[in-house]
Amino acid sequence: MSTSSTPLASALALRQKARRRREALTAYTFLLPYLFIFLVFTVFSIGYAFYLSFTRYNLLSPPQWWGLEGYRRVLCIESWFPRPENAPKPVCDDLFIRKALPNTFKYTAIVVPTQTLISLILAFAMDQKIRFRRLFRTIFYLPSVTSSVVISLIFVWLFSPLGVINQIFHLKINWLNDPRYAFYTIMMVNIFTTSGTLMLIFLAGLQDIPTALYEAAAIDGANKLQIFRYITIPMLRPVIFFVVTVGVIGCFQVFDQIYVMTAGGPLDSTTTIAYLIYKWAFRDTTVKMGQASALAFILALIIFVVTMLQRRVIEGSGTVGQ
């Protein structure tokens, strides 16, 4: 048996190998257009930006190697500690440490929980059998399919000193021009825009939970609240992880609303890391492309660390599923 089957088996294996190779070739052929774009516009760009982060580069003359000076100027460690009076100011920009970093963390800390909660509540409501459910879903999702620039412009009107918001509530707040309110106004816009998408994700997660579990819980005599706490939330955990992660990454990169609504002002109260990168790279008369690239990599590192931590936290409090 074995003597006669060996050549057959090897021939089979050979053919299988050839087929696998053919399949791989087909796969790569199909992948080629994407791979090309990915390599040129993502891998190469990131690599080049990484190189630029170690240079001084103002776009008009060729980049000069600068080592870690760009990173030093971004972090501006000298400004972390109190300086004696009349000591010379360190040669670096403390805008990142003093404004952009705290602002970005504050933004994330407020926006992520709020939008997650609101979208979860919305999704839960939309999962009930109520009338006009589809209409409501569409309405809640609408901001997400609208351009954020357009929404930002509409909010600029709504929140202008003589705008609708002040008229309705009889307020005299200069929302976007007062350092005390501007950032919160932008947060509102963002929560308004993203909650729809997150609601949809939660809704999909909710509908994925087998009804058998709810029925079993009901038979065991669990009330609505208990079902929500002990069935819905644990079953939604992977979805929550996803929503929070996407939310955190998005918040760390917040840019367009700020660009349109306040341009980082008033008095830097809405300057975030992403906006600062843009400012250094394109707004300044003397472009600081190297410093901006360095900050971009610092931002990437921050997002990486925060996401890992968050995974730990959410994993630690139960199972993250798959």
Partner 1 sequence: MKALRMTMILTAMLALILAACAPATPQVVKETVEVEKSVVVTQEVVKEVPAQRAVVRLSGWAASPEETALLQSLLLDFTAENPDIVVKYEPITGDFWATLKTSIAAGTEPDIYYMDIFQFPAFVQDDVMLPLDDLMASTGTKKEEFIPSLIDAFSANGKVYGIPKDFNTLGLFYNKDLFTQAGLAEPTDDWTWDDLKAAAQKLSNPANNVYGLGVPADAGRFPIFVFQNGGSIMTPDFQDTLLDAPEAIEAGKFYTSFRAEKIGAIPADVGEGWQGTVFGKGQFAMVYEGGWLIPYLKQQFPNINYGVVTPPAGPKGEGNLIFTVAYVISKNSKNPEAAWRVIHYLTSEAAQKKVMESGFALPTRLSLQESEYLKTNPASAAIFRGALQGARPFMWGLVGSDVNEQMTKALERVYLENMPVEESFKQAAEVIRQKLAELK
Which residues bind to partner 1, rule: CB under 8 A? Answer: 58-61, 73, 89, 91-93, 111, 144-145, 147-149, 160-163, 174, 177-179, 190, 193-194, 197, 246-247, 249-251, 253-257, 265-268, 281-287
Question: Smallest distance, Å, CB 255 to partner 1?
Answer: 7
Question: Smallest distance, Å, CB 157 to partner 1?
Answer: 10
CB 164 within 8 A of CB 158: yes
Give the list of residues 6+ apart from residue 131 with CB closer than 8 angstroms, or none.
none
Question: Smallest distance, Å, CB 198 to partner 1?
Answer: 9
- By beta-carbon proximity to partner 1, the closer residue of 149 and 218 is 149
- By beta-carbon proximity to partner 1, the closer residue of 183 and 232 is 183
Question: Smallest distance, Å, CB 180 to partner 1?
Answer: 9
- By beta-carbon proximity to partner 1, the closer residue of 281 and 298 is 281
- By beta-carbon proximity to partner 1, the closer residue of 4 and 86 is 86
The candidate with the shortest Cα–Cα distance to 183, out of 278, 122, 251, 282, is: 251
Question: Smallest distance, Å, CB 220 to partner 1?
Answer: 39
Q: At what angle do helices 101-127 and 133-145 cross, to 10 degrees?
A: 160
Question: Smallest distance, Å, CB 96 to partner 1?
Answer: 13
The candidate with the shortest Cα–Cα distance to 293, out of 24, 31, 58, 98, is: 58
Helix locations, the chain, DSSP H: 2-38, 45-52, 69-75, 95, 101-127, 133-145, 148-158, 164-169, 182-208, 211-219, 224-227, 233-252, 256-261, 273-278, 289-316
Q: What's the distance, Cα to Cα, between the start and end of the chain in Å? A: 45
- By beta-carbon proximity to partner 1, the closer residue of 127 and 268 is 268
Question: Smallest distance, Å, CB 256 to partner 1?
Answer: 5
Distance CA 155, CA 272 (A): 19
**Residues facing residue 65 across a β-bridge:** 55
- By beta-carbon proximity to partner 1, the closer residue of 53 and 257 is 257
- By beta-carbon proximity to partner 1, the closer residue of 25 and 153 is 153
Question: Smallest distance, Å, CB 245 to partner 1?
Answer: 10
Distance CA 14, CA 289 (A): 54
- By beta-carbon proximity to partner 1, the closer residue of 228 and 282 is 282
Distance set, CA 109 to CA 112, 238, 284, 306, 309 (Å): 6, 20, 30, 12, 14
CA dihedral 112, 182, 265, 189 (to 10 degrees): 50
**Residues facing residue 64 across a β-bridge:** 56
- By beta-carbon proximity to partner 1, the closer residue of 231 and 260 is 260
Q: At 191, which amino acid appears?
A: I
The CA-based angle 15-21-27, given to 5 degrees, is: 135
Question: Smallest distance, Å, CB 135 to partner 1?
Answer: 21
